Structure 1
């Protein structure tokens, strides 16, 4: 199951915004772009989609920018990916009555795989990703004698 670069960039942007959640100040596009190495114009589109999806709030003005709509503990990886990919998280049901028994069996398995993947993505929040990134940073800065 592959997701587009759009979802990966959206997750990176959301992680950057989530890392500043406690400060309460909105982050400007230029800052997010620089920190996560995402082109400004592309990031603008992603952030607009995330705002429309209810995951971000935007503030206008010189000190405006973007902030999370909810706590990083409440936004799952699946929320971000579903917003970016337009994924319906419900099981798929065959819409045609002329599906063969073989095709129905295959569809059933693919649906199970899809639901398992979605379950994993629903289990991880932005906070979980922030914690994992912090642990990796700490490992990278350890000195061994």
Structure 2
């Protein structure tokens, strides 16, 4: 599996929102843009897809912005990658005719690998990443995959509300 820049930026933006209190003021895209070094218009594009998949909610008006639609413990990395279309529920490998047994076994192996990748990413939540980055994750050991991935996608603190 190869993640696109869109996938990476979506994960980093969601991690940044996860570091912010979901019940406090929402995070402005301008503030997020400044902290992540991603253009505001590109973030608008990313957040429209994340909003359609129920991962973020936008609040309009003065002091408006975005916040996680659910607690960080309930949003997995797989959820984000489904929203960006990097993952699908469909099997990526079509099974060949049963006449070629070795091809059928290989295709079934790829299906199983794809299922395991989806399951693995579904078990990793935004909260796991934030805790791993903060160094106090009781669920994952310090040398865990989520700790490693958290170092690849560092969450950035962002300002709340509208910025000038």
Normalised by the length of structure 1, the TM-score is: 0.83
Contact 1:17 1:68 survives alignment (8 Å) = yes
Query: 1:126 corresponds to which residue?
Result: 126
CA distance in 2, matches of 1:4, 1:92: 17
Work out which structure has the larger RCO, using CA pairs closer than 8 Å and 6 or more positions apart in sequence. 2
Corresponding residue SS for 2:73: coil
Query: 1:37 corresponds to which residue?
Result: 37
Contact 1:21 1:71 survives alignment (8 Å) = no
User: Relative to 1, partners in 2 of residues 1:20 and 1:104: Cα closer, same or farther, differing over 3 Å?
Assistant: same
In structure 1, stretches of 5+ residues that fail to align are 137-145
Alignment of 1:79-118 (within 5 A): 79-85=79-85, 87-91=87-91, 94=94, 100-118=100-118
Normalised by the length of structure 2, the TM-score is: 0.74
In structure 2, stretches of 5+ residues that fail to align are 137-164
| Higher percent of residues as helix | 1
* Aligned-CA RMSD value: 2.2
- Aligned pairs, number: 136
